[in-house]
Structure formats: C-alpha cells, structure tokens
A and B are shown apart, each in its own frame.
Chain A
Amino acid sequence: MRVFPFLVSAICTAGLVYLFDTQLPVGNTKTPRLGYFLSPQQGFWQNAEKSDVTYNGNIKLQGLAGKVDVYIDDRLVPHVYAEQDNDAYYVQGYLHAKFRLWQMEFQTMAAGGRLCEILGPDRKPNDSTFIKVDRFFRRLGMVYGAEQTAQSVEQNNPEMKSAIDAYAKGVNAYIKSLKPEEIPFEYKLLDYKPEEWTPLKTYLFQMYMAYDLTGRGATTDLQMTNAKNHFGYEDFDKLFTNVKDSLDPIIPKGTAYKNPSINVKQPNDIGTAYLNVNNGDSSTASAPLVPNKSNGSNNWAVSGSKTKSGRPILCNDPHLGLNLPSLWYEIQITTPTHNTYGASFPGSPAVIIGFNDSIAWGVTNAGRDVIDYYDMKFKDASMQEYWYNGEWIKATTRKEIIKVKGKPDQVENIAMTVFGPVMYDKTFSNISSGGKNLAIRWTGLDGGSGLLAFYQLNRAHNYEEYLKAISNWNSTGQNFIFASKTGDIAIKQQAKFIARWKRQGDFIMPGTDSGYAWQGLIPIDENPMMKNPARGFVSSANQESTDPSYPYYLGAATNFPIYRGLIINRKLSGMSNITPLDMQRLQMDNYNVFAEMARPVLLKYINDSLLSSQQIKYIDMLRKWDLNSDVYSKGATVFNAIWDSVEVALWADDFAKSSLPMGWPDESTLLESLIRNNDYPFSDDISTPDKKETLQDAILKAVKKACASLAILEYQGNLEWAKFKDTKVVHLLKIDALSSLHLPIGGGRHIINATTEAHGPSWRMIVHLTDDIEAYGVYPGGQNGNPGSKYYDSFVNSWATGKYYRILFLKKEQAVAHPQIKWRLSFSNV
C-alpha cells in the first residue's frame, strides 16, 4: 500500500465526484449537477427521444372501471375511447403527465408561490426575484382561493369532484411508473423531482388562469390611485376617460336593457372620502408579475344565413402568453355520455375550448373588474383587530410558509378581514408603499364550482344546455360563445359580476365601514347576452360588452381594448357565403384599424417643410402604407415608432413628475381626444417652463425622434415589421435554446391577428357545424412537452404562417383503421 499517493488519489476521486455532483453557481443562476446531468444512463441524454419513437403500449392502471383505448394520430393528438366517464379523465391525467408533467407541476408551483422551493430565492424571472413572486402570490391568496374552491366543489359538485380525483389518480399513476432516468428534462436541469399530484393542484391551476385573466386589477387599481392622486380626479378623468366614441360593444348599441334588480347606491361621501381624497404616496406597491395587458381573445360565430353551407361556423383564438410547452393540449374524449374534441389544460380534466357531436363553444376574457382594494385601519402593529363599522373587529391570521431552497423558510402572517387577505402591510411593501394595510377583495377567492361549466359544456347538446352549463361559471368573467348543429348561435358574458356604482373600485376604497363594500352580485339573467341576432353573427374581442345604457358599471374603460372588436364586426358584416377558409383568413387578418384612424390625425400635424429629406422618406412610407401589419411591411414599423414617440412626447413629462408607478392612458383615449379636439390638454412639455408647446410642436418633436430610431433600424436591416416585432414562443424558464425565436408572423396590437412579441393567439380553432363536423385548429407548440422530442414545437411554423390542421374527430371504428392514426395505447385495470 502506498499510503500517500493512495490518499491523494482517493481525495482527488472524491473531490471530482463532489464537484460533478454539485450545482455550481454561474452568474445569478446555477449549473445542473454536471455528472448527473451528462450521465448517459441517468441524465438528459435519456430524454433524447428517438426520431422513430413509437407510443404503443398496454398499460395496467389500478382502479380503472372499464377498458380505455387511446388512438394517437400523426400529430400526437390522443383520441380517447373510454367505457366510463371517470376512466376517460383518469387516462387524460395519465396522458397529460406523460407528455406535459414538468409544465403542469411547474405552473401550479408558480401559482401556489413555491418557486423558491425549486429555484432558490434570487433568480430573476423579470425585474423581480422569485421570493417576491412567491410572496406576492401567497399574499394575494392564491392557495387560499384554491382551497376555497376545493371545499365548495367537494360539498356541492360530487360529479366534478370525482372527475378531478380520477384525473389526479391518472397523473399519479404515470408519476409512479417513471423510472428515475425517465423524469422530464427540466427536472434534471433544475435538479429536483416530481412530487405527488393532488386535486388541489387542479384548483391552483385554475387560480393561475384567474390571476392571468383578472389579476391586472391587483396592480392597476394601485397605479390608477397614484394617477388620480397625482393629477387630481378632474384631470385624471380626462386622461383616463371612460367615454369611448368608437366603441362597438359585444351587444350592439341601442339594445334595450331591463331595469336592474339591484339598485346600487353611491356612498354619500364619495367626493371627500374617495374620488378627491389624496391617499398620498401610500399605494404604489406593484406586482412582480403583472398579467399582460393584451391577455384577451377573439371569438365569433356566424349563423347559417351568412355561410355557404347554411350551417354555423364558430371561431375562437384566445390571446395569451406564447409559451413552450404550450398551455394547451389537444385531445378527443369519447365515452357513452359524450364525444368531445378540443384544447385542454394540462393540469385539468375535460376540454376547455372545443366542440362535441352537437355544439361548439369558445371563450374570450370579459375584462370586467372583479378585484378591489380596501384601506384598512388596524388597532396596532400586531394586526389582530381592525376598525369596521364603528367597532374593533378581530382579524384571523393565515400563515403561509414559503420553503426556500438552501435557506430558512419565509413565513407570511396574513391578516384576514371581512374583505379578504391584507395583501400589503408593513412586512410587504416597497419604498413608496409606506406600510399601508391594503385588503384585497377578489371574486377569485370566493370558491365556486371550479370547472363544472366546462364539464357540462363538454356534454351539452343545445342552447338550453349551454346556458345551464355556463350558469355554473363563477370564476374569471368570460364571453362564452356558442353555435349548434341545429343552427343556433349565441354569446353570453358570464361570471360572478359585482353590481357597481360608477368608478367603484377603480381606486383604493376606504375599508373602515361597509359603505364602500360590494352591494350585490348581478343576477345571471341580467348578464349581457344575445342569441340568433338578425345581423347573422355574434362576436367578442374583450371590448366593453354593452353601451353605457347597461344599468351596471362595467369597470374602468382601460380594461377594455376596442379596436379588434370594431374590425371583426366590420368584416363580418360585409361577408356572406362564408367558408371555413374565409374564417382562417380572418383569424390571420393583419389590418390595423387603429392605424386607419390614427394615421390621418398624425399626418394632419406633420409639415414636410420642417423635416429633412430622410425624415420625409419615412413619412412617405407611412403615407403609402396599406395599413396591413404584414411580415414585410415597413410602413407598419414606421407607424408604430411614430405613434409610440408621440405618446412619449405628450405624456412622459407629465408622468415623470411623480416617482410613483402610474400606467399610461390607453391609445384609444389619446386618439379619440385628438380626433375630437384640435389640441390636447397635455401637449405642453412641462419640463420646458419657458416655452408653451402646441400639439403640432409635440408631434414634430416626436416624428424627428422616431425617424432617428427608424434610421438605426433600417441600418440594422430590421425595418420590416416581423423583424422589428420579433415574435417568439418562449420556454417557461425563459431559456432561449428551448424557445422558438424570430418567427415570421405579422399582426399585433389592435389587430385580429393579435400576435405581439411573446403574446398572441395561443390556440386557433374553427368549427363548421356540418353533419360531420369540419374543424380546424393549430397552436404555437407541440403535443409533447419534452424539448428532446420532435413533437415539442412541431406546430410552431404552421401557426406562424397561418396554416391550420384539419382536426380528426373520429368514431372509434374509424380510428381503428384511419391512415393518420399511428399508435395505440390500451389501458385496463390491474
């Protein structure tokens, strides 16, 4: 034995093993454990799926009541044929897990404020750290809301509960079947392991969607309060007016509404205690992850009177963040009770947007305000009692424990009030929040029936059953659109909506008494709706659902974009003999109606004699632009650069005077004000006190600035719209190598093809309700969430170029022998 060399060598060996078995810090991130990650038998190489992979198999699952056959087509879409409803959800859970396990767990981890547990506290998703994100979601009550829903579904909807339980069993059966080397790629990259799936995670996912679709208010209410304090209510109301001249609401103007059954009473002290009170610099905490303002969607249905076949066509494209793996997963579910196809959420049973043998349905976001803040007065720092209606009321405390990788737990003690959790207090605030105690009131925390509306839509046969199904929907406000084989079309806005007085909840409200509390919920049959209108179509695109004659306040106008709705209705009005191909073209339409209205206003104030020849060159591009924001359009880039520059010229000085975050007014507000008046009250640049700028001065300055950046873009070769916009579909971890970058697609804000940088139509669907349903669909992703699979992003190019897949909606006997069916998975009880 040569002791010394032996020891040195042994230490070297152990040292190397230790080194390669440790996550090494690099920048603000960490490497995987390299030895493990690169091990061909355990690491990422095992996720490199064979190019000629097959998915056939016979799988035994404990507790299946009958047999389930799954036929998988060449796009990797499963067609599930089950003898029992719950078996179908059992297998859906299994399939979601097989193809999307990491994603579905990660999304619920994010929703439940558990990112620090797997990623550590300091990594930065955007401008914020994960600990901030986790604390924000915990304090907003995401877990609390999921628990409330779980409880209420358990008590009231046994059918829904057993579907969600069966689904969870399926997910867990797959997780248990996984050998350690088979866990998805991202677990290995981040170095953690899948845990057991629970029904609560399905509800957490629903909270995630609820936040994404209605949670902007958690930020905008604070910013609006800042703006109101800064400008005073009178100026605020000019900048952020609720008047919209060009609105074309979902329910056409002039529709008569019956008298409201709830007469809301404005508090008497609204002037002194609410609108004109300056609650100071106490309200600026902003969310670390603000839902995208463009979260919206298009849907429309045309009746047989407008189509070539005489049968209705229904279209839907929900606009959400464009991510890989995709939010959506296509599936067909066939049982003795129903035969349904559509896009499902990995994490939830059933189909969310789709069709069945009899009907088709889709959703867009209603945008209604369902989230408010109340300013609470606590007796002391212990936050155990708060002042309400003239007495001290005991608050309960909810404890949220955030586990942090490599560090001690972070504990949140959240006071719970009559309104809801006290989201902001002295422990959770930022430099300007001053320790104010803000309780949040959000319908998302009220429990409800979970996914029951979709569960019943999957099974609905006709208009009546559609109405009954959606009456269960009490989460985020949605515009449910409908068409049936029998020829009906309809749309209804549905959720738990608050009967509000004007401007109620647009700003932080006093929380010391019930005077500012919600006075009631709008009865379901008073929600805006429309069936088989004479014009032959129904549509929605997140605009206000009604004109101001609707007896309830919808919420601040800034929640509602108006231009997509305007152009959709204009185009549909002019169409006849419509075919599914026409509808595909309409979903991909790049016409910019906002620019149509804004360009003449800009040109009116642009005087060529004040510009250089290079600047005139760009103005000419703007003049000659055909108003289509197509892939190669240079005019689209010029228009956007100039418009954005005008906004900066008009507002930057006014908003710069306050250090508090305040959202800028909407483009529509500015445009309409410019159309209406010859000047704009905020034209003067207040940073130049010796000079009084007119609107013309401001626009000239803006044009010159824009032209300078356009020249740079042109020099870089990025003047074409798609290059400038640079659309991408981003991996959930924001890793470029796992994302699809630089996609050649036009469209944008205010355009039917609402594709912006990393946001847009996340699932495009067209359903023609002929006897054998003719349906088309595409989403920017692929059915397999594994970056090592060729099915990971296999739809992305089709999606970008506007190609659709003809959907296979098959009876079982057709599936058995269909040429596009590639694989078969059979499931039976153990």
Chain B
Amino acid sequence: MKFFVSIIITAFLGYVIGLFTSFPWWSFAVTSFVVALGIEQSPGKSFFSGFLGIFLMWGIAAYLLDTANAHLLATKVAIILPLKGSYWLLIVLTALIGGIVGGFASLTASYTRKPARRHY
C-alpha cells in the first residue's frame, strides 16, 4: 500500500513542480527525494517507487502528447537520436531517463534513515 501511495505522490508532485517551468527539468528529483523522506520504505522499495512514479508520469505524458500528434514529431526525433524512427522506443527512453533520476533521488532519501531494525 505504502509503495503504491508513494508512486502516486511522487508522480503527482513531479508533475506539479514541472508545471512551474521556471524550475529546471530535473526539479522532480527534489520532490521525489522529499516524498521518499516522508514515506518510510526500504531503500529498494524507495528506489522503485521513485523510479516508477516518474517513469509512469513521463511515459504517460509523452504517450498522450505523442498520440494527439499522430506520432509526427516523435517519429522525426526518433530518427535524429537515433532510434530507427520508433516513437515507442522514444517514449520508453523518455520514461527511463525520468525514472532513473527519480529512482536515485528517492533512494538517496531512504538512506537518511537508520536501517530498519530486523524483527526476529
């Protein structure tokens, strides 16, 4: 449950901070960090919730923009980058780049706490 809540809040805050575009593109790293500070999870879970939160947010946003555009621009960019003109690969690459930064930001936050005590 915590895991899913954390994904959703990470995605939501990442999206909201991105609306204030005077902040740089990576400002979601800060919000992801804050979310992981607030929601206590193991480092592994923190990483994946941060990763998935931004991966999904970037991936879905890119997907929606691309669909509304009938893949016109993404196909061109996927030739420039080069991804053989595949808009799908470009959406996945976009999501991965966002996700990996979000994941590491969340992971970093999780290490501010003491390791969870093991319950024997």
Residues of B within 8 A of A38 (CB): 58, 62, 90, 93-94, 97-98
Q: Are A737 and B108 neighbours in the complex by a CB distance under 8 Å?
A: no
Q: Tell me, in angstroms, the Cα distance from A47 to B101 when the chains sit together.
A: 23
Residues of A within 8 A of B100 (CB): 16
Instruction: From known contacts A41-B18, A42-B21, A48-B65, infer whether A35 and B108 are also in contact, taking CB-CB under 8 Å.
Output: no
Q: Chain B's nearest CB lies how many Å from the CB of A260?
A: 57
Q: Report which of B97, B98, B111 forms a contact with A6, defined as CB distance below 8 A.
A: B111
Residue of B nearest to A43 (CB): B25
Q: Tell me, in angstroms, the Cα distance from A41 to B74 when the chains sit together.
A: 15
Instruction: From known contacts A6-B108, A17-B101, infer whether A46 and B76 are also in contact, taking CB-CB under 8 Å.
Output: no
Chain A residues 32 to 58 lying within 8 A of chain B, measured CB to CB, are 34-36, 38-52
Residue of A nearest to B20 (CB): A41
Chain A proximity mask over B28-72: 1 for CB below 8 Å, otherwise 0: 010001000000000100000000000000100110011011101
Q: Are B18 and A42 neighbours in the complex by a CB distance under 8 Å?
A: yes
In the complex, A180 has a CB within 8 A of chain B: yes
Q: Are B18 and A51 neighbours in the complex by a CB distance under 8 Å?
A: no
Q: Are A738 and B58 neighbours in the complex by a CB distance under 8 Å?
A: no
Q: Report which of A44, A45, A189 forms a contact with B61, defined as CB distance below 8 A.
A: A45
Q: Are A20 and B105 neighbours in the complex by a CB distance under 8 Å?
A: no
In the complex, B79 has a CB within 8 A of chain A: yes
Q: Chain B's nearest CB lies how many Å from the CB of A722?
A: 23
Instruction: From known contacts A39-B25, A45-B65, infer whether A788 and B101 are also in contact, taking CB-CB under 8 Å.
Output: no
Q: Tell me, in angstroms, the Cα distance from A148 to B85 when the chains sit together.
A: 47
Residues of B within 8 A of A639 (CB): none
In the complex, A1 has a CB within 8 A of chain B: yes
Q: Are A788 and B21 neighbours in the complex by a CB distance under 8 Å?
A: no
Q: Are A13 and B29 neighbours in the complex by a CB distance under 8 Å?
A: yes
In the complex, A374 has a CB within 8 A of chain B: no
Residues of A within 8 A of B72 (CB): 48-49, 51, 788-790
Residues of A within 8 A of B18 (CB): 39, 41-42
Chain A residues 725 to 744 lying within 8 A of chain B, measured CB to CB, are 735-738
Q: Tell me, in angstroms, the Cα distance from A736 to B58 when the chains sit together.
A: 27
Q: Tell me, in angstroms, the Cα distance from A21 to B107 when the chains sit together.
A: 20
Chain B interface size, as a band, is: 35 or more
In the complex, A181 has a CB within 8 A of chain B: yes
Q: Report which of B65, B73, B115 forms a contact with A40, defined as CB distance below 8 A.
A: B65
Q: Tell me, in angstroms, the Cα distance from A281 to B33 when the chains sit together.
A: 68
Q: Report which of B33, B97, B114 forms a contact with A1, defined as CB distance below 8 A.
A: B114
Residues of B within 8 A of A21 (CB): 24-26
Q: Report which of A1, A12, A189 forms a contact with B112, defined as CB distance below 8 A.
A: A1
Chain B proximity mask over A162-196: 1 for CB below 8 Å, otherwise 0: 00000000000000000111000100010000000
Residue of A nearest to B50 (CB): A13
In the complex, A717 has a CB within 8 A of chain B: no
In the complex, A787 has a CB within 8 A of chain B: yes
Q: Are A1 and B73 neighbours in the complex by a CB distance under 8 Å?
A: no
Instruction: From known contacts A34-B97, A45-B94, infer whether A738 and B108 are also in contact, taking CB-CB under 8 Å.
Output: no
Q: Tell me, in angstroms, the Cα distance from A13 to B47 when the chains sit together.
A: 11
Q: Which of B43, B66, B80 gathers the greatest number of chain A CB atoms within 10 Å?
A: B80
Q: Are A51 and B62 neighbours in the complex by a CB distance under 8 Å?
A: no
Instruction: From known contacts A45-B94, A736-B79, infer whether A36 and B25 are also in contact, taking CB-CB under 8 Å.
Output: yes
Q: Which of B43, B58, B101, B113 gathers the greatest number of chain A CB atoms within 10 Å?
A: B101
Instruction: From known contacts A41-B21, A45-B61, infer whether A9 and B108 are also in contact, taking CB-CB under 8 Å.
Output: yes
Residue of A nearest to B61 (CB): A40
Instruction: From known contacts A12-B104, A43-B25, infer whether A737 and B68 are also in contact, taking CB-CB under 8 Å.
Output: no
Q: Are B112 and A40 neighbours in the complex by a CB distance under 8 Å?
A: no
Chain A residues 555 to 588 lying within 8 A of chain B, measured CB to CB, are none
Q: Which of B25, B74, B79, B112 gathers the greatest number of chain A CB atoms within 10 Å?
A: B25
Residues of A within 8 A of B108 (CB): 6, 9-10, 12-13
Residues of A within 8 A of B8 (CB): none
Q: Are B26 and A35 neighbours in the complex by a CB distance under 8 Å?
A: yes
Q: Are A48 and B69 neighbours in the complex by a CB distance under 8 Å?
A: yes
Q: Tell me, in angstroms, the Cα distance from A49 to B70 when the chains sit together.
A: 9
Instruction: From known contacts A1-B112, A39-B18, A736-B79, infer whether A47 and B73 are also in contact, taking CB-CB under 8 Å.
Output: yes
Q: Report which of A42, A738, A790 forms a contact with B25, defined as CB distance below 8 A.
A: A42
Q: Chain A's nearest CB lies how many Å from the CB of B92?
A: 11
Q: Are A737 and B105 neighbours in the complex by a CB distance under 8 Å?
A: no
In the complex, B9 has a CB within 8 A of chain A: no
Q: Report which of A1, A13, A180 forms a contact with B113, defined as CB distance below 8 A.
A: A1
Instruction: From known contacts A48-B72, A181-B21, infer whether A737 and B107 are also in contact, taking CB-CB under 8 Å.
Output: no
In the complex, A2 has a CB within 8 A of chain B: yes
Q: Report which of A31, A45, A181, A737 forms a contact with B76, defined as CB distance below 8 A.
A: A737
Q: Are A48 and B104 neighbours in the complex by a CB distance under 8 Å?
A: no
In the complex, A25 has a CB within 8 A of chain B: no
Chain B proximity mask over A786-804: 1 for CB below 8 Å, otherwise 0: 0111100000000000000
Q: Are B101 and A35 neighbours in the complex by a CB distance under 8 Å?
A: yes
Q: Are A5 and B43 neighbours in the complex by a CB distance under 8 Å?
A: yes
Instruction: From known contacts A6-B108, A787-B73, infer whether A45 and B25 are also in contact, taking CB-CB under 8 Å.
Output: no
Residues of B within 8 A of A6 (CB): 108, 111-112
Residue of B nearest to A739 (CB): B76
Q: Are B114 and A2 neighbours in the complex by a CB distance under 8 Å?
A: yes
Residues of A within 8 A of B97 (CB): 20, 34-35, 38
Q: Chain B's nearest CB lies how many Å from the CB of A794?
A: 11
Q: Tell me, in angstroms, the Cα distance from A9 to B58 when the chains sit together.
A: 22
Q: Which of A16, A181, A735 gathers the greatest number of chain B CB atoms within 10 Å?
A: A16
Q: Chain B's nearest CB lies how many Å from the CB of A769?
A: 39
Chain B residues 79 to 110 lying within 8 A of chain A, measured CB to CB, are 79-81, 90, 93-94, 97-98, 100-101, 104-105, 107-108
Q: Are A737 and B80 neighbours in the complex by a CB distance under 8 Å?
A: yes
Instruction: From known contacts A36-B25, A41-B25, A43-B25, infer whether A9 and B111 are also in contact, taking CB-CB under 8 Å.
Output: yes
Q: Are A45 and B79 neighbours in the complex by a CB distance under 8 Å?
A: no
- Provide a sorted-by-A list of 24 A–B residue pairs whose CB atoms are within 8 angstroms: A2-B111, A2-B113, A5-B43, A9-B104, A9-B107, A13-B105, A17-B29, A21-B26, A31-B81, A35-B98, A38-B58, A39-B18, A39-B25, A39-B98, A41-B18, A41-B25, A42-B18, A44-B77, A50-B69, A179-B21, A180-B22, A189-B80, A735-B80, A789-B72
Interface contacts beyond A6-B108, A20-B97, A48-B68: sample of 13 additional A-B pairs, CB < 8 Å, sorted by A: A12-B104, A13-B101, A13-B104, A17-B101, A21-B26, A36-B24, A38-B90, A38-B94, A39-B58, A41-B15, A45-B62, A179-B21, A735-B80
Interface residues of A (CB under 8 A from B): 1-2, 5-6, 9-10, 12-13, 16-17, 20-21, 31, 34-36, 38-52, 179-181, 185, 189, 735-738, 787-790
